[in-house]
A and B are shown apart, each in its own frame.
Chain A
Amino acid sequence: MRILIIEDDRDAAAYLVKALREAGHSVDHAADGVSGYDLAHEGGYEVAVVDRMLPKMDGLSLISALRAQKNETPVLILSALGQVDDRVKGLRAGGDDYLAKPYAFSELLARVEALARRRPKGAPEETVYRLGDLMLDRLSHKVTRAGEEITLQPREFRLLEYLMQNAGKVVTRTMLLEHVWDYHFDPQTNVIDVHVSRLRAKIDRDFDAPLLHTVRGAGYMIRDGAR
């Protein structure tokens, strides 16, 4: 995956470039807003990671300028301002996701990969997700595994739906809280873990091959172990 990093802090940028390359991505780096805009404008990147505070052109102006040029490269905003308002401002400027510094690299990686997977605009949405013998029908809200119907609570259904949408990729706890519950605050306790283990009990317990895996230090992933 081609990723563009626009970050003026030399250490932070070097760390990101190295870590993303280790994760198997091709990474370009720009150290200020103007050169970052030029690179992004040329296109060809699947995701751009943009710091909010940049020399020459700040991150939000850069994103607004890209969007004005009909450049729809998914953008993850990095910011040292982790407050609710700043997040809203960032998304309003045209950012697709927002991550406050300091962040865990696993969180950043998961979000970058989730952004890159986004369906291009106008593409038809899948109505049925399949993973091995697990099937989720988004229209009838029906879930079956090996032909057996599994009854899920509405929230459990949305949890599974989001996991299957990102099948094969790591999904972090905060991503789940944001997408399944629409909250961006700190829940203090391991609330998400308990929800996930409930879901796991319903879809995995009575079957041989587990599908829902815990990725240590990162989050969760649903994948077909058989393949």
Chain B
Amino acid sequence: MTALAKLFRATAFKLTLAILGLSALGAGLVLGIVAWQVIKLVDEETKQTIEAEANGLAEQYELGGVRRLDSAIEARSREPGSTLYLLTNSAGEPLAGNISQLPPGVLDHVGFVDTTYEATDASTAGRRALARIFALPGGFHLLVGHDLSDRARIGAVMVRALATSLIFLAGLAALGALFVARRVLRRIDAMNSSARAIMAGDLSQRLPVSGSGDELDRLALGLNEMLARIADLMMGLREVSDNIAHDLRTPLTRLRNHVEEALRQDADPSAYRAALERTIEESDGLIRIFDALLMIARAEAGADRAGMSAFDVGGVVTGVTELYEPVAEEKGFEMTVAVSPGLTMTGNRELIGQAIANLIDNALKYGAANLGRGGRVHVVARREGSQIVIEVADHGSGISNADRQRVFDRFVRLEGARSRPGSGLGLSLAAAVARLHGGTVRLEDNAPGLKVVVTLPARDPALAPPPAQAQAAE
């Protein structure tokens, strides 16, 4: 597309055309009203002049009849000026005056009349005049009039003024359009080239912002925020895939080493069997890590939102706690649970169950007093306003303030925990599940120990009445 074609297609250009049209209309209207007023004034004055002239002639007529009037008109007609006279007899023949020709029948219209005429000096033809016609006794007609060329001239001046101002207006508008369009187009072109650079893979690029705070700037700022968010997500994704590569590589290497080692030795069938069983165990571990990562990714992408329904969180907390109770007892823990009734929320029961299981599992793994054996784990589920709060508290060594944010990252395992089985994904998954449901997970000091607090939005009965209510009302 050529630069000119681009200019003509630009919004700024179209806008300028519209403005030009409107201002031309405005100018025409103003000039038209002025012209109309001026012409009205001129007509008014002309009528007064005709009136005065007629009065003078009426005096002459009273003094000496038609003869006196005739000579007065003869005398006045010879004076220079634009006053017109005509006296005719009953046959319609001109007796005196400076008009040689009139359209037929004009003299029959007694009173003011706007007509064309021809003067006796024949200098001009087809001029216009405003005239007053008088009928005198004896069939005589008298016309006193005034030439209207002044009025026509004023009209012409007005038209010329309008045309001139329109030319200037058009020039100004074209200049403005050129300026605005070039300015806007240049900025849009700059934005376009930035966008292309970003599409080409340079996510650090941003759209230019002029600093004027106009619509284009606001658009660029909005798009830049979006780009920042995308860059964040991409970074997170890259980090995750790096972590996955690293954390799956380690167990994969271990698995491969074990198999190779078993192959190298001339072992008896039972040793081969043991090696194979171990291989299966390790691949199962890999699958679990993979499933957990997938679950986190899906929860973070909000992919499981469709499968949500109303369920009793209290029941899930009680159920999961009961599921772990024998394990807790075996490990020497005393596990207590306090669940308030009526904790209904909308969500994915399986994911919430998995999150609670992860937290209890963590408490039983790391919550032993002095990393020894046994301890106390307290699980609470209650309602706080519009929130459901689930707490899993232990009396272990806790997590230091510095590490409390870090442990939510995938695969992060603190010192002292690395030697134990686990993937470092439990808290990440719990946090992702909470986020999916519009909630949070935070870590608090249980003095001593760790208290994990999960906050989830409760189902508001006013917003979505459960169908059970209708049945209960029957």
Contacts and interface: CB of A to CB of B under 8 A. Distances in A.
A2 interface: no
B330 A102 contact: no
Interface string A152-180: 00010000000000000000000000000
Given A83-B304, A84-B304, A191 B323 contact: yes
A185 B361 contact: no
Interface stretch (B23-31, B287-295, B338-346, B383-391): B287-295
Given A104-B280, A189-B364, A191-B323, A82 B330 contact: no
B350 interface: yes
Interface stretch (B11-19, B79-87, B351-359): B351-359
Contacts of B354: 185-186
Interface residues of A, number: 23
Nearest to B358: A188
Contacts of B348: 84
Interface string B250-294: 000000000000000000000000000100100110011001101
Given A85-B306, A191-B326, A194-B326, A186 B350 contact: no
Contacts of B150: none
A83 B298 contact: yes
A188 B307 contact: no
A88 B298 CA distance: 16
A183 interface: yes
A interface SS class: loop
A190 B357 CA distance: 12
A194 B324 CA distance: 9
Interface in A175-215: 181, 183-191, 194-195, 198
A124 interface: no
A181 B295 contact: no
Contacts of B97: none
Interface in A46-102: 82-85, 88, 100, 102
A183 B306 CA distance: 19
B367 interface: no
A195 B350 contact: no
Contact of B327 (A84, A100, A190, A217): A190
A194 B295 CA distance: 26
Contact of B295 (A83, A183, A195): A83
Contact of B330 (A104, A185, A194): A194
Interface of B: 277, 280, 283-284, 287-288, 291-292, 294-295, 298, 303-304, 306-307, 319-320, 322-324, 326-327, 330, 348, 350-351, 353-354, 357-358, 361, 364, 422, 426
Given A194-B327, A217-B277, A189 B361 contact: yes
Contacts of B327: 189-191, 194
Nearest to A183: B353
Contacts of A188: 357-358, 361, 422, 426
15 contacts: A83-B303, A88-B307, A104-B284, A181-B323, A183-B350, A184-B350, A185-B353, A185-B357, A186-B288, A186-B292, A187-B357, A188-B422, A189-B324, A189-B361, A194-B330
Contacts of A186: 288, 291-292, 354, 357
A145 to B, nearest CB: 21
A85 to B, nearest CB: 4
A84 B350 contact: yes
Given A83-B295, A84-B348, A194-B330, 6 more contacts: A83-B298, A85-B304, A100-B291, A104-B280, A186-B357, A187-B357
B125 to A, nearest CB: 97
Among all A-B residue pairs, the 7 with the closest Cβ atoms: A185-B354, A194-B326, A188-B361, A85-B307, A84-B350, A194-B327, A191-B327
A163 B359 CA distance: 29
A109 to B, nearest CB: 15
Contacts of A83: 294-295, 298, 303-304
Contacts of B295: 83
Nearest to A188: B361
A183 B323 contact: yes
Nearest to B423: A188
Name the residue in B280, B294, B320, B323 with the highest tally of chain A Cβ atoms < 10 Å from its Cβ. B323
A72 B449 CA distance: 54
Contacts of B288: 186
